[in-house]
């Protein structure tokens, strides 16, 4: 007997994303225990789009992210997305995002991208499963010196800050393999005015380097030493918000832990689009009160 579709969905999404080529309904049916017709119907019912459309848009989303934040050639992105020719890739990309790949790389329309990826992110966020208490641990951390690029403004425009921060890192040879990457979450976008929203993009330093403070968005930030709760998350960023809310409202209170007055810290161990979204690894650090 087939397992309930919502229980199957997390594995199905990972199977789709990790595949080099789009999988046919027949192949997905053989791995799921559902008939092809029933699988197609259940996916559309629960996710709001056909399975084949989801696979195609997932490839385009990864390509768009690479165009925005990486220097990968368009021809390579086209092949990775399953297109034999750059021209057919460009046409599909423009139909979806309203911009040709070269135009998007130069000046992305962030608002339209957010609209077009909202449903994909919603689907990705549905398969987080339960936030297991067993995945939560504590660790005593030393103080951490970070070089921070502060984004302040509407959350929809954060892509511009990410691009500028990446370009700053690239020009100063501050590669993530040598300088660990962090995000600092100062505000909840649901609880503050859009123009007041702050989000820190940061890299870890071994000591002060004043010569790097080249632009007004840059500053040195010290994350204090202390006891931290840590939760290891492997999966897309769309799952982070419900996981963080569960940590604050369920897991920490269940253990009697109280968060300290320190911004929540995300340590980016591996990144989308360098790896598929379901393989991206993030450590969530929450400072705890100890008195």
Task: Looking at the structure, tell me whether residues 270 and 201 fall in a common domain.
Answer: yes
pLDDT over 90 at 115, yes or no: yes
Q: What stretches of 135-260 adopt beta strand conformation (E)?
A: 136-141, 144-152, 181-185, 198-205, 218-223, 226-234
Q: Rounded to 5 degrees, what are φ and ψ at 83? A: -105, 135
pLDDT digits (tens, 9 = 90+) for 141-179: 999 999 999 999 999 899 999 999 999 999 999 999 999
Does 127 reside within a domain? no
Asked whether residue 165 falls in the same domain as residue 221, the answer is yes
Say if residue 86 is in the same domain as residue 140.
no
Identify the pLDDT of residue 1: 43
Are both 279 and 197 inside the same structural domain? yes
Out of 75-79, 129-133, 144-148, 276-280, least confident range: 129-133
- The answer on 190 and 157 residing in a single domain is yes
What's the CATH code of the domain at 190? 3.20.80.10
pTM score > 0.85 for this model? yes
Q: Show Cβ contacts of residue 271 under 8 Å, excluding neighbours closer than 6 positions.
A: 176, 181, 280
Is pLDDT at 137 greater than 70 in this prediction? yes
Stated as kind and residue range, the H or E segment containing 168 is helix 158-171
Tell whether 201 and 268 lie within a shared domain: yes
Using CA atoms, how far apart are residues 37 and 39, in angstroms rounded to an integer?
Answer: 6
For residue 128, tell me if it sits in a domain. Answer: no
Residues in the chain: 291
Residue 66 pLDDT exceeds 70: yes
Q: Indicate whether 126 belongs to any domain.
A: no
User: Of the residues 97, 120, 143, which one is the last residue of a structural domain?
Assistant: 120
Same domain, residue pair 283 and 143: yes
In a shared domain, residues 16 and 81? yes
Q: Is residue 102 domain-shared with residue 174, that is, in the same domain?
A: no
Residues 174-233 pLDDT 10s? 999 999 999 999 999 888 999 999 999 999 999 888 889 989 999 999 999 999 999 999
Residue 29 lies in domain: 5-120
pLDDT tens digit sequence for 233-284: 998 999 999 899 999 999 999 999 999 999 999 999 999 999 988 899 999 9
The percent of residues in the chain predicted with pLDDT above 70, rounded, is 97
Per-residue b or e along 35-71, where b marks 16 or more CB atoms closer than 10 Å to that residue's CB: ebeebbebbeeebeeebeebbbbbbbbbbbbbbbbee
- Domain count for the chain: 2
Give yes or no: residues 137 and 70 share one domain: no
The enclosing domain of 30 has a CATH number of 1.10.10.60
Is 125 part of a structural domain of the chain? no
Residue 34 lies in a domain: yes
Question: Three-state DSSP class for 252?
Answer: helix
Residues 176 and 52 occupy one common structural domain: no
Tell how strand 144-152 and strand 136-141 pair up. Answer: unpaired
């Amino acid at each position: 007997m087939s397992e309930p579709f919502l229980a199957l969905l997390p594995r199905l999404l990972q199977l789709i994303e990790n595949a080099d080529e789009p999988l046919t309904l027949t192949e997905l049916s053989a791995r799921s225990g559902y008939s092809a017709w029933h699988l197609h119907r259940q996916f559309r019912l629960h996710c709001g789009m056909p399975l084949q459309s989801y696979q195609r848009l997932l490839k385009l989303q990864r390509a768009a992210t690479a165009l925005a934040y990486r220097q990968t050639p368009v021809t390579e992105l086209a092949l990775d997305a399953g297109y034999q020719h750059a021209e057919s890739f460009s046409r599909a990309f423009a139909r979806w995002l309203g911009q040709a790949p070269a135009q998007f790389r130069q000046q992305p329309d962030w608002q339209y991208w957010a609209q077009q990826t909202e449903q994909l992110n919603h689907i990705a966020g549905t398969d987080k499963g339960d936030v297991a208490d067993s995945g939560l641990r504590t660790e005593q951390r030393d103080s951490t010196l970070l070089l921070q690029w502060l984004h302040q403004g509407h959350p929809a425009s954060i892509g511009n800050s990410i691009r500028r921060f990446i370009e700053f890192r690239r020009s100063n040879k501050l590669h993530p393999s040598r300088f660990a990457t962090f995000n600092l979450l100062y505000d909840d976008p649901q609880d503050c005015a859009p123009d007041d929203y702050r989000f820190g993009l940061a890299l870890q330093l071994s000591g002060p380097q004043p010569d790097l403070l080249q632009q007004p968005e840059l500053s040195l930030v010290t994350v204090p030493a202390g006891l931290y709760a840590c939760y290891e998350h492997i999966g897309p960023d769309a799952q982070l918000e419900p996981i963080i809310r569960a940590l604050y409202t369920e897991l920490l209170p269940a253990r009697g832990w109280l968060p300290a007055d320190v911004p929540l810290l995300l340590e980016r161990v591996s990144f989308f689009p360098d790896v598929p979204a379901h393989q991206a690894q993030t450590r969530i650090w929450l400072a705890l009160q100890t008195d």
